[in-house]
Every structure is written in structure tokens, then in C-alpha cells.
Structure 1
Amino acid sequence: MKKAAVIIGAGPAGLTAAIYLAKANVEPLVIKGLEPSKYLLTTMEVDAYPGFPLGVNGPTLLDDMGKQAEQLGARIRTGTVDSVDLSIRPFRIHLEGHETIETESLIIATGASFKQLGIPGEKDNFGRGVSTCATCTGFFATDKKVIVVGGGDSALEEALYLTRYASEVTIVHRRNELRASKGMQERARRSKKINWILDVTPLEVLDNGIHVSGLRVRNNSSGLEEVIPAERVFVAIGSTPNTAFLEGQLPVSKRGHLLVKPGTTETDIPGVFVCGDVQDDKYGQIASAVGSGCMAAGDSERYLESIEHNG
């Protein structure tokens, strides 16, 4: 089965690419994984996406994007991509169940999976006080005590951002020393709103049946346990780009993100484009994913036009 353009991934980047390609009468096929944009599906409150002054429900936003893409002519189907073959043309996409789809243009928008603590209460409270994005949900921490788990630059950036809203921010880290740069540490240390609890291991996210109420931790030196009261817990221990299905066919950065040519979504293989968090190791926002999805659609459309004209 041959398609002019296929998009792997149905998060904000992939669906935006689908919307713009559909408007260009390309009729893209979107392959939607079993858990498209896990972040949006589990985030009940998004306060930083333009056009929603009162915030927006994550699953609703994602669902509306999908409906818009379909109304314009995109096709969306659920499936798991086992592997792709980028060495031949048209490109071949192998789905679970032994189905193969061929395409002249491929947009990879598979996102990144946020690393989790893997402790009791974390999964159950995701979207009810547990979050992985302060800039997406920070407003809802207004006048609340919050915890940021992590010790790298991203964790301290989250903590500093949250000081705009929260009454108190506590940074919790497993080690005595932080991995963040000295400059970032100095900025965080200067904030009167930031507290530090280091050399502790998170054990459990606690809740009162409605929302998060605290984090139970164990001191690594003494072995004693304590509960840190908080109404919000932000987990900032990194993310992993979803690229395993590519089997090393495209170059990646040191952190595993797919590399693109500067100012574009183009890869080293003509006809293959990348957008969203799978290539973004700096911004990681819904709005930036949407922007790169628009870019990928434009790059893909121009590529399809070029091969059509060249016969």
C-alpha cells in the first residue's frame, strides 16, 4: 500500500504536520501509537498554550487536533511501528502484524518519553499534582508548596520558573552534589523561595484522595524516612527520545535526539523529516512542537513537489 506522505506519531507535532499537509491536498496518513503524546493524555491542566487564557485540558486539546486533521483530509490509524527501511525508495514502514506501508515522504514525530521515578503514587497522581513540565502547568501551582525532583539544569530551570507562582519550592535530589552547571546552581541558590533536600531517595508520592499531599523520602545517610508536604510534585530527571524503531538509520545527538539540518526539519536522507520532541533537546514545549510540525509539513510538501517535477 503506497502513500505519498506518512507521519509516524500523533502528538502535537505530528498532528500539526498532518493538518498542514492535508490543507495542501497531500492527504497524509498518520500512524498513531497506542499512547500518543502520553504527556498531553495525562495532563488535565495546560496553562501555557496560546489561545486558552483559562488553560486547556490536555486530552481535549490532543483530540481536537486529531479531529481538525481528519476534517481537512488526513487519515489517522492506530498501529505500532516495528521498524522502517530508509535504504530503499519508496521508504518502507513495517507495522506490528506484518503489514508494510510504502511512502515517498516520511515525517517522524514520535516524541520523547519522560523518565519517571517508578515509585508508588506517581502514576496514579499524574495530572492530579504530578507533572513533568513546569512551564505547561506552573500556573496551577500558584501559592502552593511544590517539589521538584532532579539535580540537573532542567530541574533547576523548572524550580526557578516555579518560583514565579509557588509559595515555596523544594528541590529533592538523590545525591549530595547536583549535576547542574555552576551558573544554574548559583541562580537557584540566590532564590529565597527555593529549599534544598539532598541525599534522599523518593519512596512514594502521597495524596489525600483528591490531589498530591506530599513526597515520602529516605535519607541515604541515616536511613530515616520523612514526608515533605507539597501539593505539586514535578519530576525533572530527563527524557528519552523514541527512536528505537529506527535501528540507527539516522544520526542522533549525544542525548539521543535525531539530528536535522539547521533551520529545517530535514535529515541526511532526502524525503525523511523530523519534528517535535524527538529532535528537540532544548525547548520541549507544546508550542515549539506545533511549530516544528508546521515546518516539517512545509519541507515535506516541497520535497514531494520536487520529485514530481523531476519525474
Structure 2
Amino acid sequence: MAKQEKEIDLIVVGAGPAGLAAAIYGGRAKLDMIVLEEKIIGGQVRNSYTIENYPGFEKISGSELADIFQKQVESLGVTIDEFDLIENVELYEDKKIVETESYIYKPKSVIIATGASPKKIPVLNESKYQGKGVHYCAVCDGAIYEGKKIGVVGGGNSALEEAIFLTKFAEKVFIIRRHDYFNGEKSLIDEVLNHPKIEVLFNEDLVDLKGENFLDEVVIKNKNTGKLSNLKLDAVFGYIGTEPKTNGFDKYLKVNDYGYIITNEDMETNIDGVYAVGDVREKKYRQITTAVSDGTIALLNAEKYIVQKER
């Protein structure tokens, strides 16, 4: 049976903060639009245990903030189509097609807000222990390890925040850091360095994972001396950066050497009417506030583009 075709003003691909901010402005502009989300509404924000740097909230959980975003979008009459996977994309100056499992959309404009996913821990047998001791979401999986010893790999804000969160469950948390410094906010660094349950292993690289069926030990290598050491751990959580989720859009759009979509300050890509926002685009700072800003800018420009197309 042939899929139904739908001609609409705008498709926003991705329902993280950037995509939802665009949807709020799009709803207020009364655009005929839809938001497509292949997973859970809220993006990586929903996995944040505590957010303390979003204006208007002294402290709020990621899931609560995502729920507020979603409620606001839906109150404006914008449809969020969750779990309808994109099967094909065509992006040209004069034609844009986004085909999902259910429909073939022909939008005038597209805003790509697909975000980024965690980089895998670069150890050969990482896949053997995925879900069996190797994880990338402390909020999702941390509670499994009540009273256990947990490792966190990384040195940015995400690694620091999740290490602190994991102390709610763990007997002890080891931060495995390949350098002798952190890249995070000073308040987080101070909290980590002074936390009684956290031990920081500076200048150490995770080089191997061990265990019969589940992880029970890791091997670390000192960068200065080359010495190998075994460390008994029940789990390792990786926070070593992200990789953009371009979902085939990179076939049409210019990307940098790391795969992030290149835009100008108006969020415009190399194809008229196509915009990229949030963590999927090339940018210096990746915060909830900057993602929301991206989504706002993209929608305001997309609205102008759509109006011009209708003339």
C-alpha cells in the first residue's frame, strides 16, 4: 500500500531543546508543521539528573524540563510524531522530501535538530560488555549498581556531573582521566575533588575490559610511565564526547571533519530552506541555552523563507 504524501510548511527533525524551541515559535507562527522524533522527546536533556544553569529554574531535573518543553509545544497545536523513523531524505533547493515509515512529507523547509550521541569507549571489546557493565547514561542505568564500584571515563562537565550522580548508588566512583586536568566548570571540579566517594585517577587511559559474561575488571595505563594496572570495577560509564546524528542528511549538506553540519549564524546550511540547530551543527558551545537559541533563530529564518516561497 502506497504511503500517503503530505505537503506541509515545515518539518523539524528531532525533539531535543533546539527542535522543541523551534516548534514553540513555529506553533505561535501558525505554521503547518510537524516534529519527528525517532526516540524519546527531550533528547539528551532527559538523561540529566539535575540542571542548575537554565534560566528560570534554580534547579530542575532533565526529565521535568523536557516535560515542560513538550507540554508547551503541544499546547500550541504542534504534533510531535514519536518513534516514526526516517527512511529516506532528499534535500534540494527546489524540492525537499522526508520519508518516514508512515508518510512521505514534502515540506517547504526543514530544520535538522537530531543532536549527537555519546562516543563509544575506544576499547576493542567494548561491544561485548554493552549493557553488561559498559554504559553511557547514568540516569538510565546507575541504580543497577547499588553498593558497587563504578568507573567514569572522561573529564568534561558531563563526566563530572554523572560521577557525582553515581555516588547516590555506588560504594565508590573512580574517574579515569587521561590528562592531569578537567575541562569542566570550577564548581563541579571542586565538588568532585572534595567528594568522599570519588577518587580521580589522573593521567590514566582505559585500555582493556575484563570479565567472563559481565564486566568485573578494567586495565588502565599510565600515560607518563606506561605502567599497566588492574582495577576491580562493576561498571564503567563513558563520557568522552559525542558524535553527530546526521541520519543521511550529510549526503546533501556540508559537514566538517568531525561530521557536524556547517551553518552560518542564521543556522542556514548550504541548501536554501534547510537549517541545522543544536548539537548536530558545528559550534563552540553545547549547552541547553545555546540549543534553544539555535532553534529560535532557525525558525524565525525558516518562517521568512516559507513566506517568500508562497508569494
Matched-pair contact (CA < 8 Å) for 2:160–2:188:
no
CA contact (8 A) 2:8 2:33 kept: yes
TM-score by length of 2: 0.73
Q: Which residue of 2 aligns with 1:186?
A: none
1:108 Cα deviation from its structure 2 partner: 0.5
Match of 1:269 in 2: 271
Give 1:18's aligned residue. 23
Amino acid at match of 2:239: A
1:287: how far off?
1.2
Gaps of 5+ in 2: 1-5, 144-151, 211-215
Structure 1 CA distance for aligned equivalents of residues 179 and 270 of structure 2: 31
By how many angstroms is 1:26 displaced?
1.2
Distance 1:236 1:38 in 2: 16
| TM-score where L is the length of structure 1 | 0.73
Matched, 1:217 2:234: no
Q: Give the CA deviation at 1:90.
A: 3.9
- Matched residue, 1:39: 44
Matching residue within 95, 105, 130 for 2:100: 95
Residue 287 of structure 1 aligns to a residue in which SS? helix
Give the corresponding residue for 1:245: 248
Which of 3, 14, 36 aligns to 2:8? It is 3
Do the aligned partners of residues 247 and 288 (structure 1) sit closer, same or farther apart at CA in structure 2, a change above 3 Å counting?
Answer: closer
- In the other structure, the counterpart of 2:146 is none
Distance 1:149 1:243, change over 3 A: farther
Task: Tell me which amino acid in the other structure corresponds to 1:158.
Answer: G
> 2:202 — aligned with what?
196
Q: Which segments of 5 or more consecutive residues in structure 1 lack a partner in the other structure?
A: 170-192, 205-214
Aligned to 1:162: 188
Q: How far apart in 2 are the matches of 1:77 and 1:125? A: 24
Q: Give the structure 2 partner of residue 134 of structure 1.
A: 157
Separation of aligned partners in 2, 1:157 and 1:256: 22
1:121 aligns with 2:133: yes
Pair 1:166–1:202, CA change in 2 (3 A): farther
Residue 240 of structure 1: how far off its partner (Å): 0.8
Please list the CA deviations of residues 64-106 of structure 1 after superposition, one character each: whole Å capped at 9, or x if unmatched. 2111011112111121112211126341101125x31110011
Q: Secondary structure at the match of 1:283?
A: coil
* Equivalent pair of 1:12/1:37 in contact (CA under 8 Å): yes
Q: How many residues align?
A: 270
Aligned partner (choices 33, 52, 69) of residue 65 of structure 1? 69
In terms of mean alpha carbon deviation, does 123-132 or 3-12 score higher?
A: 123-132
What is the RMSD of the two structures over their aligned residues, measured on CA atoms? 3.6
Where 1:290 maps in the other structure, the secondary structure is helix
Aligned to 1:85: 90
| Corresponding residue of 2:3 | none
Rounded to whole Å, the distance in 2 between the matches of 1:224 and 1:131 is 16
Q: Is the 8 A contact 1:149 1:237 kept in 2?
A: no
Alpha carbons 2:97, 2:106 under 8 Å: kept: yes
Q: Distance in 1 between matches of 2:261 and 2:46?
A: 24
